[in-house]
């Protein structure tokens, strides 16, 4: 698919995401406790997630009808398709349910294991981040770039706390302790999609986390790379979508970040 076609797909996807975001905004504060399901430890879902996802799938398949679907609340569809939509209808569900204003829609299009379109919409603040392969990254129509900060002591760091898989906790906490002491500060806002988007536009200098799913990262990693950044897993390898661990960073400070994180995590399979 040519770059011009990807650009068109990206803008059409933005329109779809904006439509679904309107529905999510209408539902803020409207979900009662008895309407919340517990999928697993600390993993919540409501009818809002499910309805938003159904709407996204139906609209996105009109854009690329032959695509498969990988989505948080649905079974995988057409897994052998060359193109796949990777969808998180509400990244930050716990924030949404507590009316904490940091949650997002994340939609990525993958072609043969490469991300080619990514859209993340910050629902409450109505900031839309988008990118297509080879076309750069944008927020609300303006080009964005990762930060140019090479000094670790001046970095603002994003992370996500483990909430169900605590096997790597001690290693994670050692990294957290180091960055807490050696950087300008560490933030945890509760949405991986927004963490990645905020790295892409330079609000955060870098972000690291483990135990993520494809739909948490798919759109955001393309935003970061198209904004001039680097994305790897915690071992410095290109397997982040498969193993659910990620470092997203500007290229200048990345070697210093990896030097801290890699020794802690390379012992794990």
Using the Cα atoms of residue 63, residue 68, residue 71 and residue 74 in order, give the sign of their dihedral: positive
pLDDT given for residue 42 in this prediction: 41
The tens digit of pLDDT for each residue in 171-223 reads: 999 999 999 999 999 999 999 999 999 999 999 999 999 999 999 999 999 99
Q: How far apart are CA 101 and CA 92, in angstroms?
A: 9
- Write the burial class of residue 62 (CB in 10 Å: 0-12 exposed, 13-18 middle, 19+ buried): exposed
pLDDT given for residue 38 in this prediction: 59
Q: Which residues have a Cβ under 8 Å from the Cβ of 250 and sit 6 or more positions away?
A: 146, 147, 148, 149, 199, 202, 205, 206, 228, 229, 230
The tens digit of pLDDT for each residue in 140-179 reads: 999 999 999 999 999 999 999 987 788 899 999 999 999 9
31/49: higher pLDDT:
49
Among the listed residues 256, 251, 86, 100, the one whose alpha carbon sits nearest the alpha carbon of residue 190: 100
Backbone angles phi, psi at 40, to 5 degrees: -165, -175
Rounded mean pLDDT, 28-35: 76
Instruction: Identify whether the C-beta of residue 198 lies closer than 8 Å to the C-beta of residue 144.
Output: no
**By three-state DSSP, how is residue 19 classified?**
helix
For residue 166, count other CB atoms closer than 10 A to its CB. 11
Q: Which helix (H) or strand (E) holds 81?
A: none
pLDDT given for residue 73 in this prediction: 85
Torsion of the alpha carbons at 115, 232, 200 and 100, rounded to the nearest 10: 100
**By three-state DSSP, how is residue 206 classified?**
strand
Domains defined for the chain, CATH in brackets: 3-143 (3.30.540.10), 152-265 (3.40.190.80)
Model pTM? 0.94
Two structure tokens written together for 25: 């905004």
The tens digit of pLDDT for each residue in 229-245 reads: 999 999 999 999 999 99
């Amino acid at each position: 698919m040519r770059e011009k076609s990807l650009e068109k797909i990206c803008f059409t996807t933005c329109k779809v995401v904006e439509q679904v975001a309107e529905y999510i905004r209408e539902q803020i504060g409207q979900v009662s406790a008895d309407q919340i399901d517990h999928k697993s430890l600390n993993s919540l879902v409501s009818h809002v997630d499910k309805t938003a996802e159904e709407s996204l799938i139906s609209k996105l398949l009109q854009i690329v009808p032959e695509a498969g679907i990988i989505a948080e609340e649905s079974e995988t569809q057409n897994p052998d398709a060359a193109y796949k939509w990777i969808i998180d209808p509400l990244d930050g569900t716990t924030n949404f349910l507590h009316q904490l204003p940091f949650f997002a829609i994340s939609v990525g299009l993958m072609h043969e294991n490469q991300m080619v379109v990514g859209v993340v919409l910050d629902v409450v603040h109505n900031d839309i981040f988008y990118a297509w392969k080879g076309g750069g990254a944008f927020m609300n129509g303006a080009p964005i770039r990762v930060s140019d900060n090479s000094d670790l002591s001046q970095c603002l760091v994003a992370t996500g706390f483990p909430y169900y898989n605590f096997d790597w906790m001690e290693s994670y906490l050692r990294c957290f302790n180091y960055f807490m002491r050696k950087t300008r500060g560490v933030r945890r806002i509760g949405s991986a999609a927004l963490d990645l988007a905020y790295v892409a536009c330079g609000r955060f200098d870098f972000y690291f986390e483990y135990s993520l799913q494809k739909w948490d990262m798919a759109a955001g990693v393309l935003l970061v790379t198209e904004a001039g950044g680097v994305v790897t897993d915690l071992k410095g390898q290109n397997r982040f979508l498969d193993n659910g661990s990620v470092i997203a960073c500007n290229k200048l400070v990345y070697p210093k970040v990896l030097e801290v994180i890699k020794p802690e995590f390379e012992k794990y399979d």
